[in-house]
Structure 1
């Protein structure tokens, strides 16, 4: 375990663009994902949809757009361990999933943000692997597996990051702000929620004009929960 967990504003550690570049990423891919998911939340509901449809559309679009962008632009590959969708770099050393965070998402310092829902078995295993590898920005050093060996885990050297997002609609102005960070979880804490990270790349908040999630609703704090397996 690492005793001193890094949680500093992006500008104090090279800036978010530099940090993303260390992972082979660019902000434009994540920004596009977040804008598309907000659009899906706002336009993907009719009077016949379930009440949690906006949140569900938001989640599914985050998964789809992030994977589509990195797959088509950077040759990353989708990976779905036990229905927990990831997108993985060609070397299979970095995987990224999406996750809802609490109000601390995108804010530097302690406490770290908590996942909105319990991690589940698949995410718990990913966090345990992160603890073992502890290599957030370095290329893992390992011997190539013997191709003749059976049951070799092709993803055994993969650290798993999550794109955490938190959506807030201001009570007075109605402006929607989406805060986000790309972070490497290190602990599953109380209630099975992820609550500590080895590294956090804090990303710029994105503001949107207010649009009610349900017909007739024009103001107030609102955030539809959707379980992310």
Structure 2
């Protein structure tokens, strides 16, 4: 697969299914995990939970469900470079991780969204590789060959670009209604403060709206059935 760095229509609403299809994906593989992560966040919000439990459960569920769905539906494989979990296509040319963005997430135009937290060394390396591969496509026609994973010193992921499923959660102050905006985007720069702030391609995804958080009791009531078994 040599088209994983071809710029896709960037920052434009609509047309996301054709953009995802260029990566061998569909919205139906991404949406369920986003819905389940919101459920997990609410289920973890009791007076007995740690204060960071809702956010942690949200993150763990996004990672798990994205990887589980793409692994079981499309044959992608989990990859964990230095505990920065990704899911990688069979050709090892496209990897996807999850990332929290700011209020610009899912909105067209500039400025691009920034990651909520500093990227860290592993994500910085991934962005640097995206830049290197982008330059190699710009100045020469690369010859791709299947890497020999058994050969010493060969990086089986040398041709992989790393995309991130960015999410931003907004809770309306008056109504309590929650909106989750998201995009699947290919970062190409780590800016001031170590935060990712620029993307070569952005696939803007549909916003998902959830009923008011005020409709949910503080205590766990068992109304969510979020799978937590090992997979």
Partner Cα separation in structure 1 for residue 150 and residue 199 of structure 2: 36
State TM-score, norm by structure 1: 0.85
Q: Which residue of 2 aligns with 1:224?
A: none
SS in structure 2 of the partner of residue 187 of structure 1: strand
SS in structure 1 of the partner of residue 209 of structure 2: strand
Q: Which residue of 2 aligns with 1:9?
A: 12
Number of residues of Structure 1 aligned to a counterpart in Structure 2: 208
Structure 2 unaligned regions, length at least 5: 220-231
Q: Which residue of 2 aligns with 1:192?
A: 194
Q: Deviations over 1:89-144 (max 9, x none)?
A: 00000000000000000000000000000000000000001001126xxx974234
After superposing on structure 2, the runs of 4+ consecutive aligned residues of structure 1 that deviate more than 3 Å are 4-7, 143-149, 212-216
Tell whether the 8 Å contact from 2:186 to 2:202 is kept in structure 1 after alignment: yes
RMSD of aligned residue pairs (Cα, Å): 2.4
Instruction: Identify which of 160, 164, 167 aligns with 2:166.
Output: 164
SS in structure 2 of the partner of residue 96 of structure 1: strand
Tell whether the 8 Å contact from 1:7 to 1:110 is kept in structure 2 after alignment: no
Tell whether the 8 Å contact from 1:77 to 1:87 is kept in structure 2 after alignment: yes
Tell whether the 8 Å contact from 2:9 to 2:203 is kept in structure 1 after alignment: no
Partner Cα separation in structure 1 for residue 101 and residue 158 of structure 2: 26
* Deviation at residue 147 of structure 1 after TM alignment: 6.4
CA distance 1:214–1:191, shift in 2 (3 Å) = farther
Structure 1 unaligned regions, length at least 5: 217-229
Partner Cα separation in structure 1 for residue 157 and residue 28 of structure 2: 27
Q: Which residue of 2 aligns with 1:225?
A: none
* Deviation at residue 215 of structure 1 after TM alignment: 3.8
Partner Cα separation in structure 1 for residue 203 and residue 142 of structure 2: 20
Q: Which residue of 2 aligns with 1:29?
A: 29
Partner Cα separation in structure 1 for residue 54 and residue 149 of structure 2: 46
Task: Tell whether 2:95 aligns with 1:95.
Answer: yes
State TM-score, norm by structure 2: 0.84
CA distance 1:41–1:147, shift in 2 (3 Å) = closer
Partner Cα separation in structure 1 for residue 147 and residue 97 of structure 2: 26
